[in-house]
Structure 1
Amino acid sequence: MGSERRRWLILVVGMLAMTAGSTFQYGLAYLIPAFRDEGLSLQQAGILVACPTVGVVLTLIAWGAAADRWSERVVLSTGLGLAGLVLLAARWAHGTVSLAICLALAGAAGGSVLATGRLILGWFARHERALAMGIRQSAQPMGLALAAATLPALAAGGTGVPLLFLAALFLAAATAAFVFVRDPAPQPPTAGQKASDRKPASTSPYRTPRLWRIHSASALLVIPQFTVTTFALVFLTDARGWTALDAGYLLAGTQAGGALGRLGAGYWSDRTGSRLKPVRIIAISTGVGMLALAAAAAAGSSVAVPVLLFLAVVAVSSNGLSFTAVAEYAGSAWAGRALGIQTTSQNALAAATPPVLALAIGAAGFAPSFAVVAALPLVAAILVPVTAERTAIVAQAGETDPATAGR
C-alpha cells in the first residue's frame, strides 16, 4: 500500500476510534430514561453516566506514556479491544455498583484513543497537520450525533442492546487499528545532518512554560464549550419558551456545525502556518460571544438564540488546533504523555462544569452565570503563548518535519 493511501487510511481509522470513544463517553446520557425504566433513580443514572469520564481521567497519562514507549497501534488496539470486552461483560452485570465498575473500566480502556495523536505528527507534514487533526477531532461531535440517533431507539427493550452496540463499535475500531495502523517510517536526515541527530529528544518539554500555558488555556476553553453544550437546551426551554423537541432539533444541527468549525480552523491554521494565533482569536471571539449572550439573556432579547448558535460552533473549533500544537511542541518522544496531560485537564474541567454552573444558574440566573464564564476564554487568550510559537516551530521542524526545516 502506498504511503499516501496509508496515511489517509490511518486518519480514517483514527476517526473511527474517536467516534467509538465519543459515542460511549458522551452518549450514555441518552440512556438515562432506560436506566430509570430499569428502576434506577435519576441520581443513580447520573452516576452511571459519569463513570466513563472518571475512568478516562484516571488513565489518560498512562496511556500516553504507553504510546510513547510502544506505539499507537499497540495502545489503540489493546485499549479499544479491552473496552469492547468489558462492555460485553457489562450486559450481565448485576446491580448498580457492578455496572458502574464496568462502565468505569470501559472508560479507562477506551480512553486510550484520547491519549493518541502522534500518528498525525509522523504521517502528515506540518502544513497539513492541523486540518488532519481537525478531521480526527470532528469525530467527537459525530459520536454525539451517532449516540443521539441510535441509543434511545436501541434502548426500547432495555440497556443490554445499546451496550452490545457500543461494544461492537469498540471491537470494530480495535480490529481496524490492529490491521491498518502502522508507525511512520523514520525520516531521512537532511543534507549535512547526521543520522544520530535525528533521534527524538528525550529532554522534557515541560522545562519551559509553553506547554503548561497551552494546557491551561485549552482547559479554560472547555468551560464555555460545556456551558453551551449542557445548558443550551435548558436556556431555550426555560428562558426563551421553546419546546424541548424544537430546541433539540436546533441543537442537533449545531453538532454538524461544530464539526465543520474544527475543519475550518484546521484549514485556517495550515494556510497561515500558525496554531496559536487562531486559538487566541477563537478564544477572544468566544469570550465576546458569551458576554453578548449574557447581555441578551439579561434583556430577554431574542438575539440570544443566534448568539447561542454562534457559540455552539465557535467554542468547540479550537480543540484540534490545541491538540496539534501540543503534539508539535512536545515532539515525537513526549507527544503521547503531553496529549494525555492535555486531555486529562480538559476532561476534569468538563466534568466539573455542569454541576458547578447548575448551582450558579440556580442561585443567580442565566445572565450573571454566562457573564462569569465569559471571562475565562479571555484569560485563555492571554495565556496562549503566541509570541513563542515561531521559535518552537523552527525547533520542531528539524525534529519532525525535515522537509520544512530549511524554510
Structure 2
Amino acid sequence: MSTAGTVSAVDPVASTRRWVVLCAGVLAQAATSMFQFGVPYLVPELRSAVGGSLSGVGLLVACPSIGLVLTLIAWGAVADRYGERLAMTAGLLGAGAILGVAGLSHSTVLLGLSLVLAGAAGASVNAASGRALMGWFAAHERGLAMGVRQTAQPVGVGAAALVLPAAAQSWGYRGALWVPAVICIVVGVAVALAIQDPPRPAGATRARAASPYRRPDLWRVHGASALLIVPQFTVSAFAFVYLVSVRHWPSGHAGQLLAGAQVVGATARLLAGRWSDRVADRLGPMRTLTVVNAVTVGLLAATVAASAQTAPLFLVAAAAITVGGNGLAFTAVAELAGRDWSGRALGAQNTAQNIVAAATPPLVGLLISATGYGSGFLLAAVFAAAATTVVPPSAGRITWGLRTRVDTA
C-alpha cells in the first residue's frame, strides 16, 4: 500500500497531537458516562423522593440510553462529514445545559425527558471520539489507544459511584445532577480547544467506499456486542441497590467497592487492547473474554441465589469483566468499516448496544422483583453465553483501511 498521504511516525508534532486527542477523548467519554451510566447510583434517593417500583425507577435509569439510541447514527454522520471536534463539542455543551435544567426540575416527567435529551446530546462523544482515535493512531497501536479510550466509561462510572451517592444525600438527586452538568460543560470547552480532526487525504470521498454491511462480520460484531450489554447493564444497574437493599451495606461503602470494580474494569480494557495489538487480532481475544464473562456472571448468579458471603467478590469480578472486551469490539467495528464508514458504523454499534441497554434495567427489574436477584444475574449469564456463538471467527492478521496522518512534505 502506498504511503503517500502519511507521515513518519516520528513526526514530533503528530506524535504529541495524537496523545492530546486521546486525553481529550477520554475526558469527554468519562464526562458523559458519568450521567449516562451513573443514574443507578441515584436509585435509593430517587425511590425515596419520587416513590415507585424498582422497575419504574429502572425506566429512569434507562432514559439516557433511550436518548443515545435516537441520535447515535446521526452524530456518526455528522462526525463523518463535519469532523469530530464539532460533534463532540456541541454534544458536551448541550448535555451539560440539559442536565442543569434537570437539576432545577421538580417533575419526574421532566426529569425523565431531560435524561433522554442529555443522552441524545452526549451520544456525539460515543460516535465521534473513537473515530478520531482511528484517524490519529497507527494500526499497531489502535487496540491500546481504543482500550485507553474505553477506560473512560468505567472511570466515569467509578467517579459517579464515588460522588453521586454523597451528592444526593447532601443535595438530593436534583442537586447531584449538577455535578455531571458542570463537568460536561468544562470538558466541552476543553475539547473545543484541544482536539484537532485527523487529516483526510485529498480526493477521498465517502461515495467511493462500498458499504461494509455487505459482509456478515460487521453484523455479527454488532450482534455479539448487543448481547453482552445485558450482563453489563444488569450488573451496573443493580449491583449498588443489591448491596444496599439486600446486603444492607452503607451506600458510601457500596459506592467505594463498585468504584474499585470500575478501576479493575478499566485495567482489563487496557490489557485487552494491548493483547489484541500484539496478536494482530481483535476477534479472538473478544471471544475469549466473552467466555470468561459468561462464566463469571454465572458464578455471581449462583452465589447471590445462595446468599453466599462471597457474592460481593463475584459482583466486583462481574462488574470488571462485563466491560473488559468493549474496546475490542469498537476497534473491530471501526477497522471493518473503514475510514468513510467508521463514524456511522460506530454509531450503529452504539445504537444496537443502547437499544438493549434501554430495555435491560426495567425488564430485568421486573424479573428481580418477581423472583430475586439471583434470577436476574442468571439471565445475564445466559445472554453472555449466547454471545460466544455470535462473535465472528478471526480472519487471520488484521488489515486496516484507515490512514493516520497527512504528509506535509
TM-score by length of 2: 0.84
Equivalence for 1:122: 135
Shift of 1:147: 2.0
RMSD of equivalent CA atoms: 2.9
Inter-CA distance 110–370: structure 2 relative to 1 (3 Å threshold): closer
Assess if the C-alpha contact under 8 Å between 2:151 and 2:270 holds in 1: yes
Letter in 2 for 1:183: D
Q: 1:203-352 residue pairs with structure 2 within 5 A?
A: 203-233=210-240, 241=247, 243-245=249-251, 246-297=253-304, 301-352=308-359
CA distance in 2, matches of 1:301, 1:90: 40
Assess if the C-alpha contact under 8 Å between 1:331 and 1:400 holds in 2: no
Which structure 1 segments of 5+ residues have no match?
A: 188-194
Equivalence for 1:143: 156
SS at match of 1:13: helix
CA distance in 2, matches of 1:309, 1:159: 25
Equivalence for 1:108: 120
CA distance in 2, matches of 1:92, 1:231: 27
Which residue, out of 379, 400, 403, partners 1:400?
403
CA distance in 1, matches of 2:349, 2:160: 25
* Residues matched between the structures, number: 389
Please say which of residues 95-104 and 272-281 is displaced more in the overlay: 95-104
Letter in 2 for 1:27: G
Inter-CA distance 382–45: structure 2 relative to 1 (3 Å threshold): closer
Assess if the C-alpha contact under 8 Å between 1:219 and 1:346 holds in 2: yes
1:142-188: CA deviation from partner (whole Å, max 9, x where unpaired) = 1122223333444424456434432221222221222121122346x
Shift of 1:221: 1.1
TM-score by length of 1: 0.85
CA distance in 2, matches of 1:235, 1:99: 24
Q: 1:88-107 residue pairs with structure 2 within 5 A?
A: 88-93=100-105, 95-107=107-119
Inter-CA distance 88–364: structure 2 relative to 1 (3 Å threshold): closer
CA distance in 1, matches of 2:238, 2:172: 27
CA distance in 2, matches of 1:89, 1:237: 29
Shift of 1:275: 0.7
Shift of 1:318: 0.4
1:40 is aligned to 2:50: yes
Shift of 1:304: 4.2
1:54 is aligned to 2:69: no
Equivalence for 1:165: 179
CA distance in 1, matches of 2:373, 2:38: 25
Larger relative contact order, structure 1 or 2 (CA cutoff 8 Å, min sep 6): 2
